Amino acid sequence: MQFFTRENDSLLFRQDGETVLITPWGADSLRVRSTILSDFDDRSAALLPQPAVPVVIDIDSQNPRHATLQNGRITADLYVQEWGNALRITYRNQHGKILLQEIPNGGALALKARHFKALPGGSFRLKASFTSNPEEKLYGMGQYQQEIMNLKGCNLELAHRNSQASIPFYVSSLGYGFLWHNAAIGEVHFGSNTTEWIAEATKQLDYWICAGDTPAQIEEAYAQATGKAPMMPEYGLGFWQCKLRYYNQEQVLQVAREYKKRDIPVDVFVIDYYHWLRCGDWSFDPEFFPDPAAMIKELHDMGMETMVSIWPQVDYRSENYEEMKQQGLLVKSDTGVDVQMLFHGNNVFLDATNPRTRAYVWEKCKKNYADLGIRTFWLDEAEPEFTGYDFGTYRYHAGPVAETGNIYPREYARLFYEGQKASGQKDIVNLIRCAWAGSQRYGALVWSGDIMSDYADFRKQICAGIHMGLCGIPWWTTDIGGFHGGVTESGEFRELLVRWFQFGAFCPVMRLHGCRQPGKRLFKQSGEEREGTGADNEIWSFGDDNYPTLVKFIRIRELMRDYTRSLMREAHEKGSPVMRALFYEFPADPACWDITDEYCYGSDILVAPVCHEKARSRKVYLPAGASWVHAGSGQTYEGGQTYEIDAPLETLPVFLREGRQEYLIGKI
C-alpha cells in the first residue's frame, strides 16, 4: 500500500477516508491538516501566507509505513502503526529530540490521535491527542484569570468571556511553539498523561508547530506566521486618564483642564460608554455632549487625544436597528427570541465577521467620531458578551458560533483598523477587551476586562500580561486599580491603587480606569434614567499623601518614553513582547521558568510589583547571567540569587541590567 505521497513541498497521507497534509509554513515551521472524506479548506483562520522554504521529504522506499518531512529545525516523523494502519506523527528538533508526539493507538485499544465524531449537518466534534512530557512547561494561551504561569495541568476553555481571551498558542520549555489553528469553541486539557485539544464543531483538524532554540526565536516565528503589531503611536507611550464614566462635556473638560493646570501630562483622555442615546447609535447624545467637535479640539490643544467607547450591541430602539436587521448585518440567533444581551434594553450584536457590516458601522463612526477629530477607539464588549455565553445558539456571517466564534474580537478590531487606514490614518491603536490569534496586526491594545479591585486579581493580571505577550499580543494593559469594588475614599483601596499604579507605569500602556464607589444616578431631562457615573478617579482623588507618588510614576513613564518607544519598535519589527517572562530573556536559568510575579519590561528593566496587602518589602529573584542595579538606591546585586528588598509605599523594586537605562537610578 502507498500511504504517503509528495505534493509539491507537502507530504500527504491517506487511509480509510482520512487525509493528512503536512506543509512547510515559514522557517522551522509546519502546518498540519486532516479531513475526513472531504477536500481541505484552504481558507486560513489566522495564519498568513509564507514564502517558500527548502524542505527535505523522504518517503521510505524500504518501509512504506514511514516518511519524514524536514523544514530547518523541525522534522515531522510519520509512522503507520500495524494495528488498524493508524498514523502517528512525532515532531523532533534538529538534534533529534522529541518535541511533541501524537498518542499511539494502543493496539487493541484502537485509540485515535485525531478523533472525528460526526455531527448533524456535516461538521465534526474533533479531539486531537498528544502524549504528555511531565518535565515540560507551557506558557501562553491568552488571558485566563488565574495566578498560574506554567499551564501544565490546566484545563482551559477555548472561548472568550469578559476578562478571558482565549488565544490557542503556547510556548514550550522543550523548544517549540504550537498554535491550535481553529476558531471553534472548545477546550484544551494539558494533562499529566495526555494533552487533548477539543473543537466542539469543525470541518477539519488544523494546527501549526515551530521549533526554536530560544523562546525569542519561537515568538518571532509565530509573529511572522500570524502578523505583527503596527508601530505604536506616540500618544500610546504616556499616561491615559479614564473612569466610569465622564458623562458630559463639561465634566470631561473640567478634569482635563485640571491636569493641564497641574502640568501633569495626559496622552489620551477617555470617554466611556453611554455617551450615546441608545446602543447602536454610534454618536454623541446631544443633551450631554452639545458640541463634541469643540470639546475634542480643546482636548487636542491641551496635548490629549480623545478616545471614545464603542459597543457592538444594537438596541432594538436604536436608529440603526431596523436597517441593520433588514440588511442582515447582525448576529443571528438560531432559536428562541433574538435578544443576545439584556442591558438598558434588548440588544443584539453587530456581525463583525461580515464585511458589509464592517463597512456600514465604520461609515457611521467616521461621520460621528473620526470626522470630528477622534483617532482612537475603545472597542468594548468584544468577546462579544452574550448574556449566558450560550455559544451554540448564535450564528455569524462566518458560520455558526460553535465553529467560528473565537474570531469575533479580531474582526471587530479589523472593522476599525481597516476603516481608519482607508480614511488615511497611519498611527492606529484601539483599546479592546478581547483578542484572538492575529488581533495584533489590527492595532489591538487588549485590556484585561472587568476585574475586581483586590490584591488577588492584581496578581492574576501580572500572569495574564506575560501570557498575552507570549501569544503575540504585545499591546496589553489593565484597569489600574481594578474595575469593580474600589471605594475612592477607602484607605485600603487607596493603597491598592498606588501599588497597581506603580505596576501600570511598567505596562505596555499606562491607563487609569475603574467603576469607583459610591456612584451617582443620572437622568435625562425627560426623566429616563441613564447609566450612572462613578466616584472620582483622578490622581488627586486618593489622598494628599498618595498624590506625589502617583505624579512621580507618571513622570517616570515620561522618562522612559524613548525606551518604551524602542520596545514598541521591537514588537512591530520582530513580534517581541513588551512585557516579558523572565525566561524569555534568561532561558538558561531554570529558576526563571517558575516566577509568577516578576517580569522584564523589555530587556533592560526587571519589575517586581508589590502585590500583597500592607507589604513593605518583598523577595525578588534576579536572573543569573547579569548583574543588576537597584533603580532606587543604585546598589548592585549579582544575579542568580533571591533578595529581600525594601518597598515602602512610595516605590517598588525595579532593577536595571548593569550599564543600561541608568537615567532611572534614584528616580524610582
Question: Tell me, what CATH number does 162's domain have?
Answer: 2.60.40.1760
Specify whether 150 is located in the same domain as 276.
Answer: no
What is the spatial distance between Cα 329 and Cα 313, in angstroms, rounded to a whole number? Answer: 12
Of the candidates 226, 245, 273, which is a domain's last residue? Answer: 226
Contact between 330 and 408 (Cβ < 8 Å): no
* pLDDT surpasses 90 at 243: yes
Kindly report the pTM of this predicted structure. 0.97
The Cα 427–Cα 421 span in angstroms is 9
Amino acid at 483: F
Does residue 646 sit in helix, strand or coil? strand
At 388, is the pLDDT very low, low, confident or very high (cuts 50, 70, 90)?
A: confident
- Cα 643 to its chain centre, rounded Å, is 32
For the ranges 147-156, 206-215, 336-345, the lowest mean pLDDT is seen at 336-345
Rounded to 5°, angle at Cα 181 from 175 and 185: 120
Q: Which residues share a beta bridge with 195? A: 130, 190
Q: Is the same domain home to 461 and 551?
A: yes
Closest CA to 575 of 219, 176, 263: 219
- Please indicate, yes or no, whether residues 206 and 142 belong to a single structural domain of this protein: yes
Q: Is 58 a catalytic residue?
A: no
- Measured CA to CA, the distance from residue 481 to residue 499 in angstroms comes to 8
Q: What are phi and psi of 576, to 5 degrees?
A: -70, 140
- Of 380, 538, 585, 604, catalytic: 380
| CA dist., res. 306 & res. 295, Å (int) | 9
Q: Mean pLDDT throughout 585-590?
A: 98
Q: Is residue 369 predicted with pLDDT exceeding 90?
A: yes
Q: Using CA atoms, how far apart are residues 395 and 56, in angstroms rounded to an integer? A: 42
In a shared domain, residues 500 and 647: no
443-494 pLDDT per residue, tens: 999 999 999 999 999 999 999 999 999 999 999 999 999 999 999 999 999 9
| Pair 603, 532 in one domain | no
Q: Which of 526, 553, 574 is the last residue of a domain?
A: 574
Tell me, yes or no, whether 325 and 402 share the same domain: yes
Whole-number pLDDT of residue 565? 98
The active-site residue out of 187, 319, 450, 658 is: 450
Q: Which residue in 383, 411, 457, 495 is the catalytic one?
A: 383
pLDDT band at 1 (very low <50, low <70, confident <90, very high): confident
> For 226-243, what is the mean pLDDT?
98
State whether 554 and 601 are in the same domain. Answer: no
Q: Are residues 515 and 609 in the same domain?
A: no
Task: Give the whole-number percent of the chain exceeding pLDDT 70.
Answer: 100
Rounded to whole angstroms, how far apart are CA atoms 45 and 81? Answer: 31
> Do 216 and 350 share a structural domain?
no
- Based on the domain organization, do 208 and 252 belong to the same domain? no
**Active-site residue 380, yes or no?**
yes
By mean pLDDT, which of 61-65, 532-536, 565-569 is the weakest? 61-65
CATH number at residue 499: 3.20.20.80
Residue 489 Cα distances to 110, 485, 496, 535, 651, angstroms: 64, 12, 12, 9, 21
Q: Which pLDDT band holds residue 225 (cuts at 50, 70, 90)? A: very high
Looking at the structure, do residues 13 and 90 belong to the same domain, yes or no?
A: yes
List the domain range (segments joined by +) for residue 632: 581-664
Average pLDDT of the segment spanning 641-655:
98
Q: What secondary structure letter does DSSP report for 347?
A: E
Percent of the chain surpassing pLDDT 90: 98
Residue with cell 473543537: 199
Cell of 631: 533603580
- What is the residue-averaged pLDDT of the chain? 97
Task: Quote the number of domains for the chain.
Answer: 3
What would the 3-class secondary structure string for 112-180 be?
A: CCEEEEECCCCCEEEEEEEECCCCCCEEEEEECCCCCCCCCCCEEEECCECCEEEEEEEEECCCEEEEE
Which tens digits make up the pLDDT trace of 299-321?
A: 999 999 999 999 999 999 999 99
What mean pLDDT comes out for the span 236-261? 98
pLDDT tens sequence across 19-48 = 999 999 999 999 999 999 999 988 899 999
Q: Is 383 a catalytic residue?
A: yes
Q: Are residues 402 and 494 in the same domain?
A: yes
Q: Show which of 171, 195, 226 is a domain's final residue.
A: 226
